[in-house]
Amino acid sequence: MSEIIKNRYDFVLFFDVQDGNPNGDPDAGNLPRMDAETGFGLVTDVCLKRKIRNYVQLVKEAKRPFDIFIKEKAVLNNLIDEPYETDEVKKQEKSAEKVESARQWMCTNYYDIRTFGAVMSTGKNAGQVRGPVQLTFSRSVDPIIATEHSITRMAVTTEAEAEAQHGDNRTMGRKYTVPYGLYRAHGFISPHLASQTGFSEEDLELLWQALRDMFDHDHSAARGLMGTRKLIVFKHDSALGNASAQQLFEMVANPRLKDPANPARAFSDYTNIEVTGDLPSGVTVLEV
């Protein structure tokens, strides 16, 4: 593994969706998530982390030290128990030392644990990890409209269903999409927490790569056309940081519609996304 990161980072991610559902809300019949008071669209941090995990698992083929802890059909307690079979953990005499050794082993071998953290106090107990990379909910630049579509199916699943429908096999269903939405998310990376999990420069580059390309490997009929449009990274010269995240985020204004009289239906309907104003001393901008 490469050197552990030494600098603080804050970043802004813009991504969009066209004729798709970026994040269905199970509490609302899988409608696209939105702020009920304002109509602005929402995408949870958990949704974006899932896409990052899937991308890393695809690129690194789930090989350690880039394996993924939270993945489909994973039995978490079995994974947590694994370090207790290693010599490093077995040689520890005290229970607390065994937990700490197991925690370090899990951080070393699982990318998402040393990136986002994890609760591993079930099973044989590998402690808890607070990850250095944190994301906010994404919020759309403008209010969204959730469109409901009726869909049909010409086939049936059983012979009984076919007989009951007397030859009419069109099963009705519902599908929800957003005609177009441009979303903005904020992220934070702490070198202090990175030193505890081992999050390295190599891990950081993989994170930038995932944020750029994760939607290209996450296509489905339900999600429509999604893609990253802009990733703006503020790099601090120090571990503590040289300016507040809020100050830096305010330098990236949301793009405006070129024609406010018409709703957005493409990224080209917006003005350019730019960093404005003078950067604080000790902060540089990376567009990755």
| Residue at 260 is within a domain | yes
- CA–CA–CA angle 189, 190, 193 (5° rounding): 130
Give whole-number Cα distances, 276 to 12, 38, 234, 254, 273, in Å. Answer: 14, 27, 13, 11, 10
- At 287 the three-state DSSP class reads strand
Report the pLDDT value the prediction gives residue 264, as an integer from 0 to 100: 96
Give the sign of the dihedral formed by CA 10, CA 33, CA 111, CA 120: positive
Report the pLDDT value the prediction gives residue 2, as an integer from 0 to 100: 84
pLDDT-flagged residues of the chain (< 70): 1, 164-170, 288
Report the pLDDT value the prediction gives residue 156, as an integer from 0 to 100: 76
pLDDT digits (tens, 9 = 90+) for 10-53: 999 999 999 999 999 999 889 999 999 999 999 999 999 999 99
Q: Are 259 and 269 in contact (CB under 8 A)?
A: yes
Report the pLDDT value the prediction gives residue 169, as an integer from 0 to 100: 61
| Residue at 1 is within a domain | no
Distance CA 152, CA 173 (A): 6
pTM here?
0.93
Count CB-CB contacts under 10 A for residue 148. 10
| Residue at 126 is within a domain | yes
Two tokens at 225?
Answer: 């056309």
Provide the domain count of the chain.
1
- Residue 69: name the closest of 113, 6, 37 by CA: 113
Give the domain extent around 136. 9-287
CA dihedral 60, 235, 183, 58 (to 10 degrees): 0
What are 108-111's contacts with CB under 8 Å, separation 24+? 108/1, 108/65, 108/198, 109/64, 109/65, 109/67, 110/64, 110/65, 110/67, 110/68, 110/69, 110/79, 111/53, 111/56, 111/60, 111/65, 111/66, 111/67, 111/68, 111/203, 111/206
| Residue at 107 is within a domain | yes
Report the pLDDT value the prediction gives residue 266, as an integer from 0 to 100: 96
| Residue at 73 is within a domain | yes
| Residue at 3 is within a domain | no
Report the pLDDT value the prediction gives residue 96, as an integer from 0 to 100: 93
CA 281 remoteness from chain centre: 30
Task: Quickly list H helices, 61-190.
Answer: 76-81, 87-90, 95-109, 111-116, 159-164
CA dihedral 115, 119, 124, 126 (to 10 degrees): 40
Two tokens at 26?
Answer: 């199970």
